């Protein structure tokens, strides 16, 4: 393309993305050379290709981890002569704790200086009163992680630990099966893990719903009176397990634009970092309220479709279905 075809900022069909006024990527395109524009087209096509591949992503809920650990991994442990269980921090400690509990085994940690095993609690031997009279069998220690991708963490433990050990994981990359002795499932990337979703870099490629994701939905009793509504959204506690530990791509909400100041202050107070905050036009409030699910979903889907975000995290299943259909992109509904 020799020159920019867009008369104003907005969605560009050529690049298949939003060309914004601020930051000024539309102005850049206006003044770019044909060569620069051609290279940008290549970069955009690569980005869209990554988005399309993301549709094959598997989303694994925490409840699924528990079931796979219990039903697929645990049966492989029953015949082993184990002296205890060690979890690889942090997320590996989750399945390790469950296995130790189910098999009635001690739960260990490793001294970061001597690399020797230590009991998990100084006040109750082996991490619990049920282990008070435990007599070890002299077996091996079971070392557990939730996932093994390249096997780096396990390789590091192998070099340091002074005990005979067996290695296990709930989910293993197909190319890393030889890194462990036991696994529950082979898992191809990309995949998103519910227990790590808001802690990982994937969240930087996500658009988030607001009410129902970052905080509880506003009760209907609070919605029918504006003073009560404002008081609620000012002071509602967040879902602390869903505060992103890094900057998300953006937040798209059916909250009305007139509540922007309150919403931005709440986000700042709770340390939630985001690229953009899209709120439903106040002048369309009556239209939204006549068919909230459809209107809210269409609003979110439109922003999602025009963005470079890989996925959308939506609290309501009916809206999630519409957003997925209208955007053609990956949508997570954590409660479903």
Do 181 and 102 share a structural domain?
yes
Q: With 90 as the cut, is the pLDDT of residue 270 above it?
A: yes
Q: Are both 229 and 294 inside the same structural domain?
A: yes
Residues 276 and 317 in one domain: yes
Which CATH number is 237's domain given? 3.40.50.1000
**Which among 42-46, 110-114, 173-177 has the top mean pLDDT?**
173-177
Examine the domain organization and report whether 134 and 152 are in the same domain.
yes
Of 330, 331, 310, 308, nearest to 44 by C-alpha is 308
Domain shared by 141 and 214, yes or no: no
Total domain count for the chain? 3
Q: Do 171 and 224 lie in a common domain?
A: no
pLDDT tens for 158-178 read 888 877 889 999 999 999 899
- For residues 161 and 269, membership in a common domain is answered with no
Q: How confident is the model at residue 64 (pLDDT cuts 50, 70, 90)?
A: very high
Residue 110: inside a domain, yes or no?
Answer: yes
Task: Give SS3 for 61.
Answer: coil
Please give the residue range of the domain that contains residue 19: 10-53
Burial of 97 (0-12, 13-18, 19+ CB in 10 A): middle
In a domain, 1, yes or no: no
CB 108 within 8 A of CB 117: yes
Mean pLDDT, the chain, rounded, equals 85
* Whether the bond into 23 is cis, omega within 30 of 0: yes
pLDDT tens figures, 280-305: 999 999 999 999 999 999 999 999 99
* Inside any domain, residue 4: no
Return the minimum-mean-pLDDT range out of 84-88, 188-192, 318-322: 188-192
Question: Is 327 inside a domain boundary?
Answer: yes
CATH classification at residue 132: 3.40.50.2020
Average pLDDT over residues 248-268: 96
Residue 4's pLDDT band (cuts 50, 70, 90): confident
Where residue 74 falls among pLDDT bands split at 50, 70, 90?
A: very high
Whether 229 and 326 map to the same domain: the answer is yes
Within a domain: 176: yes
Residues 49 and 69 placed together within one structural domain of the fold: no
């Amino acid at each position: 393309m020799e020159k920019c075809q867009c008369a104003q900022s907005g969605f560009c069909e050529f690049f298949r993305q939003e060309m914004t006024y601020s930051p000024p990527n539309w102005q850049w395109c206006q003044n770019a050379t044909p060569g620069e524009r051609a290279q940008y087209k290549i970069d955009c096509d690569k980005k869209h290709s990554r988005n399309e591949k993301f549709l094959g992503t598997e989303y694994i809920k925490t409840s699924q981890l528990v079931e796979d650990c219990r039903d697929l991994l645990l049966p492989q442990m029953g015949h082993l002569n184990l002296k205890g269980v060690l979890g690889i921090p942090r997320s590996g400690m989750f399945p390790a704790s469950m296995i130790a509990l189910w098999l009635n085994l001690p739960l260990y940690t490793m001294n970061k200086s001597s690399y020797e095993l230590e009991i998990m609690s100084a006040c109750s031997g082996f991490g619990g009163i049920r282990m008070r009279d435990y007599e070890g069998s002299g077996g091996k220690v079971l070392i557990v992680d939730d996932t093994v991708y390249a096997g780096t963490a396990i390789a590091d433990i192998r070099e340091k630990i002074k005990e005979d050990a067996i290695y296990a994981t709930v989910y293993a990359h197909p190319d890393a099966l030889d890194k462990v002795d036991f696994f529950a499932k082979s898992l191809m990337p990309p995949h998103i893990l519910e227990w790590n979703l808001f802690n990982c870099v994937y969240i930087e490629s996500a658009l988030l719903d607001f009410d129902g994701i970052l905080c509880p939905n506003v009760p209907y009793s609070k919605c029918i009176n504006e003073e009560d509504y404002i008081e609620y959204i000012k002071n509602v506690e967040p879902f602390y397990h869903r505060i992103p530990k890094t900057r998300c791509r953006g937040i798209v909400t059916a909250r009305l634009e007139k509540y922007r100041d309150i919403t931005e202050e709440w986000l700042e107070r709770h340390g939630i970092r985001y690229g953009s905050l899209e709120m439903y036009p106040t002048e369309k409030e009556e239209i939204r309220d006549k068919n909230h699910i459809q209107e809210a979903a269409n609003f979110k889907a439109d922003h999602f479709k025009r963005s470079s975000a890989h996925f959308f995290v939506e609290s309501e299943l009916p809206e999630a279905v519409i957003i997925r259909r209208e955007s053609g992109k990956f949508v997570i509904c954590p409660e479903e």
